[in-house]
């Protein structure tokens, strides 16, 4: 048992092992003050089967930890002749199952060494690089205390192309430092005639406690189970995950024999696992699957985060958002101008939430006339325009699980938000260009005002279309001119609806009602005659044509 | 920003920090010790620093909450209370109290005083700087004391911990029910705005400027830029060379403001539950408007105080009811990061 802190807990666990008849050799870090150490030794002096081994200075990533393990192993093998398996544990390890179960488990597998041991070539699992190189370079400087020299010396060796020779052609293996080896294997490693050669080599290897025994056991073991009996998880920075009181159920269900690292003040865990030894004898294999998944998820959350979320501890720089919003949504431009009942129709056909013009200058037109949306998002235009991107991201985030659709057009506050939407791969943008002219056509304004407004809207939409057509636009964008669209309106509608992907299989049973466009061609011609050429709607003939329905009898759309 | 401009800014901020420290040094004379128990502070204690004025109503719950989380000692400046706050605090076994009759505003909202106390007593400790109406919660706070949190932060090389203030409000008029000292304020203040926050990164100090929430919705809808700042970095492994810049919203040196991940990941973060909207807020708004001590441009906030005095109902159909930290975590108002 390697101990360097929390001696009270180490004593508690040592007593637990000892009471179950397992002899223990304890190594305490030489950095521990003498007073603490002697107190610790004294506290355990009543146990007959506890020994203390020669102390080494243990710093993370250095040889000291291996030296400590070697000394302690030697004591164990010489002082306790009937020990068959040696289990390397730490002071913050906690046995989760009755010790007898572990004893039985090992007795059934008398020749098996449990040591995680993989070649670096096959498993690139190390954190922060240095997987092959830790065996090829020299590491005389401390990573903790002399990071600068450590890094510089690595860089220098790389530059010079320095390579160490690996003695006797051994194949470097790596794995968890917490192993359980048989007497045969362990003594073979310690008594190897070439041990001084190996020791000399591993002294300058980076983090040798993860490779010394892992490599050498490959030379002697009869049967290696390449896994650790100790449940020990590391996060993406190589820091061990810590178990707290609230992990009690999780640890119980894991069926692992030993877990580390336990928070020293996790009273509930120590009470639970060190007292109820009488628990039913289970013959199950350790099953850390659930814990693995939970910790993998935590790392995922730390590294990738929840897409589309902006908060006090997640605020990605541009380009690292991993999704500007959290879910897909649809933006329709011109549809509500061309069709009289587009919103209600879309809601019925797709079952999605359909808003009006979210970016209207007066207020955000939420669905059903709501003044406040999910998450207490206000419809106030000033509030919205203070940070339109946050407004949209919040709306999509707050309504997770329900697709949002909204209308958009050149009358809205376009400039502040158009790039955010165009660059968002979650956006599905469908545009009928020039349809903004329909409300003008229907309006009761003076023609000079109409002309002025038409010129303004056309300019805005034209710039907006440039944005949508730019190479940086990442949304799924479809643009039709109005003339193009009314030529065959069902096909584009069907495509858009299919993409939203929620309607019935049989195509569109119901179609939205198109505005009456009788005289629209003439209206456009009048604008032209005034010197304002409306071009975004495509070519509209002045005289009546087929797509302009005869008065009184509308041409039915084809339903696919 | 070019390299030169960045270096120049860093240099200026360095001097700004020194100026703030010097200011705190001068203002130390404004503090009179009332009860000094700082000799009881143990090396690993987590310390709470706070400036209070007439908070006798909130302090019992405040102290109880932070004691339960494992705070070792409270260092509190009483700014001229007349409701027995000082006497109450002086009777506590783990609170050191100073009194100051000087201006709250001129001491940068109490920060100068606290900076001095932090220089004296905070060095090397994890220090939590909160107001009496701010209740810190963080992921797993119900099962893991703050020592677990600070040890974890230490192990991960973090010196500061970010939070957002969450304004909690009741359903119905603000003064419809009286709150009794010591009771759980969130029995009535159990509603909050779940998803209407906006944030931007400050160019100079690199902190996140978070606004929004219920106060922006109800009082600052037409002047959102004036809405109160909600981001705070209240928990810091203190060094005597550190200094808060504006309340606990931002701090120098500015690396401490990087409590967020800007590469897409989520860092561990918490929430300050804000108990401002207890029934007393109605009466206090009149006083605060008159004292004009709470905002740099206090006159701009007259409307805010006026509407608070009408005891409005802040609740709306889309308000969320607080059920616990897991709810806030799932809603994305705080994050576990990789602390599982």
Minimal C-alpha gap between B296 and chain A (Å): 21
Measured at the alpha carbon of residue A92, what is the angle toward residues A87 and A97, in degrees to the nearest 5? 60
Q: Is the pLDDT of residue A546 over 60?
A: no
Minimal C-alpha gap between B165 and chain A (Å): 10
Interface test with B, best of A244, A249, A313 (most B CBs within 10 A): A313
- Kindly state whether B70 is in contact with chain A, defined as any CB-CB distance less than 8 angstroms: no
Q: Which residues in B lie closer than 8 A to residue A320 (C-beta atoms)?
A: 262-264
- Rounded to the nearest 10 degrees, the angle between the axes of helix A415-422 and helix A388-398 is 50
For the stretch A329-370, pLDDT in tens is 999 999 999 999 999 999 998 999 999 999 999 999 999 999
pTM for the model stands at: 0.91
Q: Which residues in A lie closer than 8 A to residue B339 (C-beta atoms)?
A: 298
On whether the CB atoms of residues A512 and A340 are closer than 8 A, the answer is yes
Interface test with B, best of A246, A267, A376 (most B CBs within 10 A): A376
DSSP B152: H
DSSP A246: G
On whether the CB atoms of residues A431 and A506 are closer than 8 A, the answer is no
pLDDT, position A558: 46
Quick check: A312 and B196 CB within 8 A? no
Nearest CB to B262: which of A239, A297, A316? A316
CA B339 to chain centre: 23
On whether the CB atoms of residues A14 and A47 are closer than 8 A, the answer is yes
Residue A283: pLDDT band (50, 70, 90) is: low
Interatomic CA distance for residues A115 and A227, integer angstroms? 5
Residue A560: pLDDT band (50, 70, 90) is: very low
- Kindly state whether B267 is in contact with chain A, defined as any CB-CB distance less than 8 angstroms: yes
Q: Which residues in B lie closer than 8 A to residue A301 (C-beta atoms)?
A: 265-266, 335-338
Reduced 3-state DSSP string for A158-212: HHHCCCCCCHHHCCCEECCCCCEEEHHHHHHHHCCCCHHHHHHHHHCCCCHHHCH
Interatomic CA distance for residues B12 and A555, integer angstroms? 73
Q: Is the pLDDT of residue A556 over 60?
A: no
DSSP helix/strand/coil, B246: strand
Q: Is the pLDDT of residue A281 over 60?
A: no
pLDDT, position A551: 45
> Which residues of chain B from 13 to 52 reach within 8 Å of chain A, CB to CB?
none
Q: Is the pLDDT of residue A300 over 50?
A: yes
Residues 6+ positions from B288 with CB-CB distance below 8 Å: B294, B305
For the stretch A151-198, pLDDT in tens is 888 889 888 888 888 888 888 898 889 999 999 999 999 999 999 999
- Rounded to the nearest 10 degrees, the angle between the axes of helix A490-500 and helix A342-350 is 50
For the stretch A4-57, pLDDT in tens is 999 999 999 999 999 999 999 999 999 999 999 999 999 999 999 999 999 999
Quick check: B199 and A315 CB within 8 A? yes
10 Å Cβ neighbour count for A507? 13
pLDDT beneath 70, residues of chain B: 1
Sign of CA dihedral B271, A364, A457, A425: positive
Chain A residue with minimum CA distance to B140: A246
User: Where do the H-state alpha helices sit in A80-166?
Assistant: 99-107, 133-136, 147-160
Q: Kindly state the helix (H) or strand (E) to which residue A495 belongs, with its residue range.
A: helix A490-500
User: Where do the H-state alpha helices sit in A44-96?
Assistant: 64-79
Nearest CB to A306: which of B147, B164, B332? B332
- Kindly state whether A311 is in contact with chain B, defined as any CB-CB distance less than 8 angstroms: yes
> Which residues of chain A from 241 to 260 reach within 8 Å of chain B, CB to CB?
241-242, 244-246
Quick check: B162 and A312 CB within 8 A? yes
Nearest CB to B195: which of A239, A295, A375? A375
| CA distance between the termini of chain B | 38
Provide φ and ψ at A77, rounded to 5°: -70, -35
Q: How many CB pairs under 8 A join A and B?
A: 175
Q: Which residues in B lie closer than 8 A to residue A313 (C-beta atoms)?
A: 162, 259-261, 266-269, 334-335, 337
**Please, which residues bridge with residue A430 across strands?**
A332, A478
Interatomic CA distance for residues B100 and B335, integer angstroms? 38
Burial of A424 (0-12, 13-18, 19+ CB in 10 A): buried
Domain B3-330: give its CATH code. Answer: 3.90.550
Minimal C-alpha gap between B96 and chain A (Å): 27
Q: Which residues in A lie closer than 8 A to residue B163 (C-beta atoms)?
A: 312
Provide φ and ψ at B220, rounded to 5°: -125, 25
pLDDT, position A554: 46
pLDDT, position A552: 43
Quick check: A305 and B332 CB within 8 A? no
On whether the CB atoms of residues B132 and B157 are closer than 8 A, the answer is no
For the stretch A202-211, pLDDT in tens is 998 888 998 9
pLDDT, position A275: 82
On whether the CB atoms of residues B253 and B242 are closer than 8 A, the answer is yes
10 Å Cβ neighbour count for B161? 26
Interatomic CA distance for residues B88 and A14, integer angstroms? 47
- Kindly state whether A444 is in contact with chain B, defined as any CB-CB distance less than 8 angstroms: no
10 Å Cβ neighbour count for B136? 23
Interatomic CA distance for residues B53 and B51, integer angstroms? 7
- Kindly state whether A382 is in contact with chain B, defined as any CB-CB distance less than 8 angstroms: yes
10 Å Cβ neighbour count for B206? 15
Interatomic CA distance for residues A189 and A215, integer angstroms? 10
Interatomic CA distance for residues A17 and A48, integer angstroms? 12
Interatomic CA distance for residues A87 and A186, integer angstroms? 11
Quick check: B332 and A311 CB within 8 A? yes
Minimal C-alpha gap between B270 and chain A (Å): 9
DSSP helix/strand/coil, B302: helix
Residues 6+ positions from A77 with CB-CB distance below 8 Å: A83, A86, A183, A186, A187, A190
- Kindly state whether A558 is in contact with chain B, defined as any CB-CB distance less than 8 angstroms: no
Q: Which residues in B lie closer than 8 A to residue A387 (C-beta atoms)?
A: 198, 200, 224
Mean per-residue pLDDT, A227-234: 89
Quick check: B264 and A320 CB within 8 A? yes
Q: Which residues in B lie closer than 8 A to residue A297 (C-beta atoms)?
A: 340
Mean pLDDT for all residues in chain A: 89
Residues 6+ positions from A372 with CB-CB distance below 8 Å: A366, A378, A379, B217, B316, B317, B318
Nearest CB to B199: which of A376, A390, A397? A390
Quick check: B335 and A239 CB within 8 A? no
Interatomic CA distance for residues A353 and A347, integer angstroms? 6
Interatomic CA distance for residues A21 and A49, integer angstroms? 8
- Kindly state whether B148 is in contact with chain A, defined as any CB-CB distance less than 8 angstroms: yes
Q: What per-residue string of b and e applies to B72-96 under the rule 16 or more CB within 10 Å gives b? A: bbbbbbbbebeeebbebbbebebbb
Task: Look at residues B225, B174, B217, B178 and name the one whose alpha carbon lies nearest to residue B195.
Answer: B217
Interatomic CA distance for residues A242 and A265, integer angstroms? 11
Mean per-residue pLDDT, A419-447: 95
Residues 6+ positions from B229 with CB-CB distance below 8 Å: B209, B210, B211, B246, B247, B249
pLDDT, position B1: 63
Task: Look at residues A259, A246, A268 and name the one whose alpha carbon lies nearest to residue A96.
Answer: A259
For the stretch B127-152, pLDDT in tens is 999 999 999 999 999 999 999 999 99
On whether the CB atoms of residues A448 and A532 are closer than 8 A, the answer is no
On whether the CB atoms of residues A464 and A414 are closer than 8 A, the answer is yes
Interatomic CA distance for residues A303 and A293, integer angstroms? 15
Nearest CB to B208: which of A242, A246, A312? A312
Interatomic CA distance for residues A516 and B37, integer angstroms? 83
On whether the CB atoms of residues A405 and A350 are closer than 8 A, the answer is yes
| CA distance between the termini of chain A | 75
Q: Which residues in B lie closer than 8 A to residue A382 (C-beta atoms)?
A: 221-224
pLDDT, position A505: 56
Nearest CB to A299: which of B199, B318, B338? B338
Q: Name the CA radius of gyration of chain B, rounded.
A: 19
Quick check: B266 and A380 CB within 8 A? no
Q: Kindly state the helix (H) or strand (E) to which residue B155 belongs, with its residue range.
A: helix B146-155
Ranking A277-286, A379-388, B169-178 by mean pLDDT, the lowest is: A277-286
Provide φ and ψ at B99, rounded to 5°: -120, 145
Q: Which residues in B lie closer than 8 A to residue A235 (C-beta atoms)?
A: 338
Break chain B into its structural domains and give their ranges.
3-330
Q: Which residues in B lie closer than 8 A to residue A373 (C-beta atoms)?
A: 318
Q: Compare A159 and A546 and report the one with higher pLDDT.
A: A159
- Kindly state whether B201 is in contact with chain A, defined as any CB-CB distance less than 8 angstroms: yes
Nearest CB to A312: which of B163, B195, B220? B163
């Amino acid at each position: 048992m390697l101990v360097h802190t929390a001696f009270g807990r180490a004593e508690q666990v040592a007593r637990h092992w000892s009471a179950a008849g397992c002899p223990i050799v304890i190594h305490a870090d030489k950095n521990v003050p003498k007073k603490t150490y002697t107190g610790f030794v004294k506290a355990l002096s009543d146990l007959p089967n506890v020994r203390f081994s020669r102390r080494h200075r243990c710093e993370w990533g250095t040889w000291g930890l291996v030296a400590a393990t070697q000394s302690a192993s030697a004591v164990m093998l010489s002082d306790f002749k009937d020990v068959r398996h040696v289990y390397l544990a730490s002071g913050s390890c906690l046995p989760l199952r009755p010790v007898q179960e572990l004893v039985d488990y090992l007795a059934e597998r008398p020749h098996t060494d449990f040591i995680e041991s993989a070649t670096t070539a096959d498993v690139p699992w190390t954190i922060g690089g240095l997987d092959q190189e830790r065996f090829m370079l020299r590491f005389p400087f401390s990573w903790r205390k002399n990071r600068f020299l450590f890094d510089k010396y690595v860089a220098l060796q790389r530059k010079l192309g320095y390579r160490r020779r690996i003695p006797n052609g051994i194949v470097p293996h790596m794995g968890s430092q917490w192993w359980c080896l048989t007497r045969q294997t362990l003594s073979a490693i310690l008594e190897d005639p070439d041990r001084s050669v190996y020791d000399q080599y591993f002294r300058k290897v980076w983090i040798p406690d993860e490779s010394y025994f892992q490599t050498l056991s490959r030379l002697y073991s009869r049967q290696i189970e390449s896994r650790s009996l100790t449940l020990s998880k590391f996060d993406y920075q190589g820091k061990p995950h810590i178990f707290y009181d609230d992990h009690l159920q999780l640890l119980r269900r894991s069926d692992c024999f030993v877990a580390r690292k336990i928070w020293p003040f996790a009273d509930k865990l120590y009470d639970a696992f060190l007292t109820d030894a009488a628990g039913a004898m289970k013959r199950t294999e350790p099953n850390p699957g659930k814990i693995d998944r939970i910790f993998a998820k935590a790392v995922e959350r730390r590294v990738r985060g929840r897409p589309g979320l902006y908060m006090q501890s997640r605020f990605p720089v541009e380009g690292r958002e991993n999704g500007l919003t959290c879910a897909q949504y649809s933006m329709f431009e011109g549809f509500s101008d061309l069709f009289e009942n587009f919103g209600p129709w879309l809601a019925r056909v797709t079952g999605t939430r359909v808003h009006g013009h979210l970016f209207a200058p007066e207020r955000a037109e939420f669905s059903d006339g709501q003044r406040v949306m999910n998450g207490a998002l206000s419809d106030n235009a000033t509030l919205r325009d203070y940070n339109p991107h946050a407004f949209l991201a919040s709306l999509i985030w707050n309504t997770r699980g329900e697709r949002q659709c909204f209308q958009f057009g050149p009358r809205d506050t376009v400039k502040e938000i158009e790039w955010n939407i165009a660059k968002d791969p979650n956006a599905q943008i469908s545009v009928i260009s020039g349809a903004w002219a329909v409300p003008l056509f229907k309006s009761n304004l003076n023609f000079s005002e109409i002309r002025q407004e038409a010129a303004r809207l056309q300019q805005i939409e034209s710039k907006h279309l440039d944005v949508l057509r730019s190479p940086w636009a990442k949304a799924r964008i479809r643009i039709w001119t109005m003339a193009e669209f009314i030529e065959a309106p069902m096909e584009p509608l069907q495509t858009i609806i299919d993409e939203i992907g929620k309607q019935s299989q049989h195509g569109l049973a119901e179609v939205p009602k198109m505005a009456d466009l009788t005289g629209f061609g003439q209206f456009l011609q009048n604008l032209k005659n005034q010197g304002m050429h409306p071009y975004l709607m495509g070519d509209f003939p002045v005289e009546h044509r087929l797509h302009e329905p005869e008065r009184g009898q509308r041409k039915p759309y084809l339903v696919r | 920003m070019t390299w030169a401009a960045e270096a120049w800014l860093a240099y200026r901020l360095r001097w700004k920090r020194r100026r703030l420290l010097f200011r705190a040094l001068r203002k130390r004379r404004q503090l009179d010790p009332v009860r000094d128990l700082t000799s009881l502070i143990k090396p690993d204690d987590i310390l709470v620093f706070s400036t209070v004025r007439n908070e006798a109503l909130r302090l019992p719950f405040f102290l109880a909450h932070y004691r339960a989380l494992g705070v070792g000692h409270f260092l509190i400046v009483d700014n001229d209370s007349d409701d027995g706050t000082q006497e109450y605090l002086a009777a506590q076994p783990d609170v050191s109290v100073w009194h100051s009759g000087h201006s709250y505003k001129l001491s940068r909202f109490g920060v100068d005083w606290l900076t001095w106390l932090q220089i004296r007593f905070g060095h090397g400790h994890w220090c939590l700087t909160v107001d009496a109406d701010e209740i810190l919660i963080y992921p797993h706070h119900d099962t893991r004391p703050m020592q677990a949190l600070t040890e974890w932060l230490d192990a991960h090389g973090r010196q500061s911990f970010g939070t957002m203030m969450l304004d909690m409000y009741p359903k119905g008029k603000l003064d419809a029910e009286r709150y009794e000292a010591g009771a759980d304020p969130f029995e009535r203040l159990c509603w909050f705005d779940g998803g209407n926050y906006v944030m931007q990164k400050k160019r100079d100090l690199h902190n996140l400027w978070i606004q929004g929430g219920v106060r922006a919705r109800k009082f600052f809808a037409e002047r959102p830029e004036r809405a109160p700042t909600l981001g705070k970095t209240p928990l810091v492994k203190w060094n005597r060379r550190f200094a808060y810049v504006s309340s606990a919203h931002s701090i120098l040196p500015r690396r401490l403001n990087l409590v967020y991940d800007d590469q897409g990941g989520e860092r561990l973060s918490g929430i300050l539950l804000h108990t401002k909207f207890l029934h007393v807020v109605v009466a206090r708004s009149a006083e605060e408007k008159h004292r004009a001590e709470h905002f740099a441009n206090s006159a701009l906030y007259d409307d805010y105080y006026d509407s608070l005095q009408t005891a409005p109902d802040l609740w709306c159909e889309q308000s969320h009811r607080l059920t616990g930290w897991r709810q806030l975590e799932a809603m994305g108002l705080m994050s576990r990061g990789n602390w599982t």
